Amino acid sequence: MNFPAQSKAFALLLSVGLVAGCSSTGGTSEDGGEYGSDVAAVDQEGGSTVYGGDDQDGVSSSSMTDQERMEAQEQAAQQALREITVFYFDFDTAEINQEARDVLVAHARFLANNPGQGVRVEGHADERGTKEYNLALGERRANAVQRFLIVNGASRGQIETVSYGEEKPAVMGSSESAWAQNRRVELVFE
């Protein structure tokens, strides 16, 4: 199954992880800072970034404390997670899967840190089954996400939920793949 938005965001997440990995092992470059002249970006094509260069005598990380560096890394990782705003569900369930949990924690923290920010949680179902039951199922999914956000720091007043049931599919069609992409909750930040 192909979920373009999600895979794009995960690729981004992966590259952040890669950067973090490089800097912590190499100790010569830091993401978010300036690269030394002897640290060359070898390949920046194709969406992934690979760094080369010698360890010796490179730019030190003295401009940032370890603490700051970790925070910056964490922030970038969180931001990458928050690129994901659509969460998928199994047929006739409202269970949030582990993958979605990590991402929703990032959204919840963001909401906690930005009390003025609102979010609309939209619940959807695939076309199978009955319209009214699907309306309630979409609401159950939206409520599950709302509860999860609140438990992780967001406040109730920031979140508005709505269910569209099966009325607004993301993908047209009656295939397993279309259904899987339509059983979802979408976060819409205002």
Partner 1 sequence: MTHRISNKRFRTFLIVFVLFFVAVSGARAELLIRITEGANAAIPVAVVPFAESGQVPAGDKVSTIVQSDLTMTGEFRTLPPGKMLSLPSRREEVYFRDWRLLGQRYVLVGALTRSGDRIEARFELFDVNREERILGETAAAPASNMRSLAHHISDKVYEAITGVPGAFSTKLAYVTLDNVTGKPRYRLQVSDVDGKRARIRLESQEPILSPAWSPDGKRLAYVSFETGKPVIFVHELASGKRTKVADFPGLNSAPAWSDDGQSLLMTLSKDGNAEIYRMDLGSRQLTKLTNHWAIDTEASWDADGSGIFLTSDRSGGPQIYHMERPGAEPRRITFGSRYNARPRPDDDGQFVYYVHQRDGAFHIARTELKTGEETILTRTGSDESPSVAPNGRMLIYATRQGGSNVLTVISADGGAAYSLPAAEGDVRDPAWGPLVR
Tokens at 64, concatenated = 């940032």
Beta carbon nearer to partner 1, 163 or 181: 163
Nearest CA to 83 out of 181, 190, 7, 160 is that of 7
Least spacing, CB of residue 151 vs partner 1, in Å: 15
In SS3 terms, 11-72 reads as HHHHHHHHHHHHHHHHCCCCCCCCCCCCCCEEECCCCCCEECCCCCCCCCCCCCCHHHHHHH
Tokens at 45, concatenated = 């094509």
Least spacing, CB of residue 95 vs partner 1, in Å: 13
Least spacing, CB of residue 131 vs partner 1, in Å: 5
Beta carbon nearer to partner 1, 38 or 92: 92
Least spacing, CB of residue 158 vs partner 1, in Å: 15
Beta carbon nearer to partner 1, 8 or 128: 128
Beta carbon nearer to partner 1, 29 or 182: 182
Q: Phi then psi for 38, rounded to 5 degrees?
A: -90, 0
Footprint of partner 1 (CB under 8 A): 92, 127-133, 135-137, 139-140, 143, 161-165, 167-168, 174
